[in-house]
Amino acid sequence: MTKEDLQKYCGEEDIISKPFSKGGFSYATDGVLIIRVAQIEGVEEQIINKPNVDSLWSKHVHEGDSYFPIPEIPEPESNVCTWCFGTGNVNPCPECNGEGVVYFSNHYNEYECDCETCDGSGFHIGDKTEDKREPKICKRCKGEGKIYKYGNSTVSGRLYNNKYLLMLKKLPNCVLAEAKDLDPGHFIFDGGDGFIMPLDPSFVSVGGKK
């Protein structure tokens, strides 16, 4: 695995936005999944002890646990991103300047309305606008032009989001341990290991996919 591969497992918050190294390993996490591989050159040492990987590993890896392969997981449904209309690029809307609302007033009142040009999104397709500012990558779909809708699946008695199970399935020979209650589930693959947080079934809406 390279530093770039590891970057794909990072989250958006500052503290987890880059892979980090500690004790001969390199790690990446987005808060739901954390992955650990042998230290990769160029991945900087962790500065503050958060997330506390030592305690995570010492608490939640149990000797004698059984590990199970991950079953077939359905691919997500996808919809065209309504912010960038599937282009992956956005410019601020020229009518509302990216605010999503327009203001006007007459003799009697001041008004504030959703901008009709951008349907209140504040964005406008790069190609079609007169605006000469550089198109930006759409934040909502991260430039993919699509929004994915993932269901959940039960693996070894615990409920997980399919997005993460599909990520695990891409790891060579990945197997997942039976998690205790809502503790993180330990997984192992050729080249590393990590944890994935299960979902609390009582917070998953009735009729949700299992």
Residues that bind Zn ion (CB under 5 A): 81, 83-84, 93, 95-96, 115, 117-118, 138, 140-141
- Distance CA(48)–CA(6), nearest Å, equals 19
Rounded least distance, CB 29 to Zn ion, Å: 25
Nearest to Zn ion of 73, 84 (CB atom): 84
State the minimum distance, in angstroms, from the CB of residue 135 to Zn ion: 11
Closest C-alpha to 156, from 134, 175, 140, 128:
175
Q: How many residues does the chain have?
A: 210
Q: Tell me the C-alpha distance between 33 and 76, whole Å.
A: 18
- The residue (of 34 and 90) whose beta carbon lies closer to Zn ion is 90
Please say which residue, 56 or 84, places its beta carbon nearer to Zn ion: 84
Is 65 exposed, middle or buried (CB count within 10 Å of its CB: 0-12, 13-18, 19+)? middle
Question: Hey, what are 192's tokens?
Answer: 């590393």
CB of 148 to Zn ion, least distance (A): 12
C-alpha 45, offset from chain centre: 23
In the bound state with Zn ion, the residue whose beta carbon lies nearer, of 34 and 84, is 84
The set of residues, in sequence order, having a beta carbon less than 8 Å from that of 158 and lying 6+ positions away, is 178, 179, 185, 198
Which DSSP state fits 130? Answer: S
- In whole angstroms, the minimum distance from the beta carbon of 141 to Zn ion comes to 3
| CB nearer Zn ion, residue 65 or residue 99 | 99
Shorter beta-carbon distance to Zn ion: residue 51 or 94: 94
Q: Residue written as tokens 């995570």?
A: 56
